[in-house]
């Protein structure tokens, strides 16, 4: 079969890697997978509703060599903005920070913050796409010059923080920060009176000892996670912490009530957040 003109394959793969491998032989020298496609290949969080297995493939080429094929979005860039190409599992892919900078124009500010958090945090399994220094991201913005989305990327970097482990931690933190709650830190280690590690707090208010934890459905449906959550909650309370659990509703339609509750708890524990 022919997944792309001039390319033959034994079968039609549906995974993103399969689709990229089917297209790769048709790409010219200097062309690499880019934008949202590159973000997905690097294992970084994508905007909600974006399915990398079904959406168009993004590739970037030097100026004057735009790729034009069905199911492919071809981009071009000057040599200065093209960014280095990396061999990722045998595929030519722009580096993860360049992919983030490229994609900023097509995403919301919060999506761009989420990926910046991931790049400075521990979301991706690829060493090249995790625990990066803020200056690395800032350099990519500068290298892009007046690229569309540069303003969004700069604003996102101002809101991003290191050590974030999941996209919903970003959502939780942004909700509270925008409500004017200060003194927050992410994935803060908490120890008991004997110095033993109890766990890490998704978003912590250190002054008030309020631990804010996002609870996805797996915390309810997986019995081991459920039991561990109960043990953690008791241990946190023994250590003087007040644990507050947040669901998708608290980050969505019930956000105002959730923020008001958090603010009240912080105030009741002796910290003025008025």
Does the pLDDT value for residue 41 go beyond 80? yes
**pLDDT confidence tier of residue 233, bands split at 50, 70 and 90:** confident
pLDDT at 79 over 80: no
Percent of the chain with pLDDT over 70: 89
Count CB-CB contacts under 10 A for residue 233: 16
250 has pLDDT over 80 = yes
For residue 10, the model assigns a pLDDT of: 38
* Helix pair angle (109-120, 167-178), 10° resolution: 120
pTM of the entire predicted model: 0.86
Which residues partner with 60 through β-bridges? Answer: 32, 75
130-to-91, 127, 187, 224 alpha-carbon distances in Å: 19, 6, 15, 28
Q: What is d(CA 213, CA 201) in angstroms, rounded to the nearest whole number?
A: 6
Strands 242-246 and 210-214: parallel
Give the residue extent of every domain in the chain: 16-159, 167-268
Q: Of 163, 67, 174, 183, which is closest to residue 123 (Cα–Cα)?
A: 163
Output phi, psi for 176, to 5 deg.
-75, -40
- The confidence score (pLDDT) of residue 220 equals 53
In this prediction, residue 164 carries a pLDDT of 94
Per the prediction, the chain carries an average pLDDT of 88
Lowest mean pLDDT among 179-183, 261-265, 270-274: 270-274
| Distance in angstroms (rounded) separating the CA atoms of residues 38 and 62 | 17
CB atoms within 10 A of CB 103: 25
CATH number of 167-268: 3.40.960.10
CA distances from 173 to 8, 97, 110, 177, 273 (A): 48, 22, 11, 6, 16
Helices (H), the chain: 16-23, 35-41, 79-82, 96-103, 109-120, 134-143, 150-159, 167-178, 218-221, 223-238, 255-268
* Tens-digit pLDDT profile for residues 87-101: 999 999 999 999 999
Helix (H, G, I), strand (E, B) or coil at 194: coil
Coil, strand, or helix at residue 76? Answer: strand
Q: Using 50, 70 and 90 to split pLDDT, how confident is the model at 224?
A: low
Task: Give residue 37's pLDDT.
Answer: 97
Q: What pLDDT is stored for residue 24 in this prediction?
A: 94
Residue 137 has pLDDT above 90, yes or no: yes
Please say if the pLDDT value at position 64 is more than 80. Answer: no
Side-chain-side CA neighbours of residue 58 (13 Å) = 20
pLDDT at 104 over 70: yes
CA distance 129 to 97: 8
Tell me the pLDDT tens digit for each residue of 108-126.
999 999 999 999 998 899 9
Share of the chain above pLDDT 90, in %: 66
pLDDT > 50? residue 13: no
């Amino acid at each position: 079969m022919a997944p792309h003109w001039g390319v033959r394959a034994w079968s039609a793969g549906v995974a993103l890697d399969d689709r990229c491998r089917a297209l790769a032989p048709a790409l010219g020298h200097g062309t690499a997978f880019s934008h949202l496609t590159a973000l997905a290949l690097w294992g970084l969080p994508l905007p909600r509703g974006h399915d990398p297995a079904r959406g168009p493939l993004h590739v970037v080429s030097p100026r004057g060599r735009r790729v034009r094929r069905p199911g492919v979005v071809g981009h071009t860039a000057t040599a200065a903005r093209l960014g280095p190409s990396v061999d990722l599992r045998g595929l030519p892919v722009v580096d993860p920070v360049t992919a983030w900078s490229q994609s900023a124009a097509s995403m919301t500010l919060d999506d761009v913050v989420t990926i910046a958090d991931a790049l400075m945090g521990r979301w991706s399994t690829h060493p090249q796409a995790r625990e990066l220094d803020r200056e690395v991201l800032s350099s990519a913005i500068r290298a892009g010059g007046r690229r569309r989305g540069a303003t969004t990327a700069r604003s996102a970097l101002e809101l991003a923080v290191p050590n974030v482990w999941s996209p919903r931690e970003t959502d939780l933190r942004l909700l509270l920060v925008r409500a004017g709650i200060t003194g927050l830190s992410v994935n803060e280690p908490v120890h008991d009176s004997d110095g033993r590690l109890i766990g890490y707090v998704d978003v912590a208010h250190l002054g008030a000892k309020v631990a804010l934890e996002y609870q996805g459905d797996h915390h309810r449906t997986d019995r081991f996670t459920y039991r561990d959550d109960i043990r953690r909650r008791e241990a946190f309370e023994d250590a003087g912490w007040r644990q507050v659990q947040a669901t998708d509703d608290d980050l969505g339609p019930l956000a105002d009530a959730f923020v008001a509750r958090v603010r009240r708890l912080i105030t009741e524990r002796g910290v003025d957040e008025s």
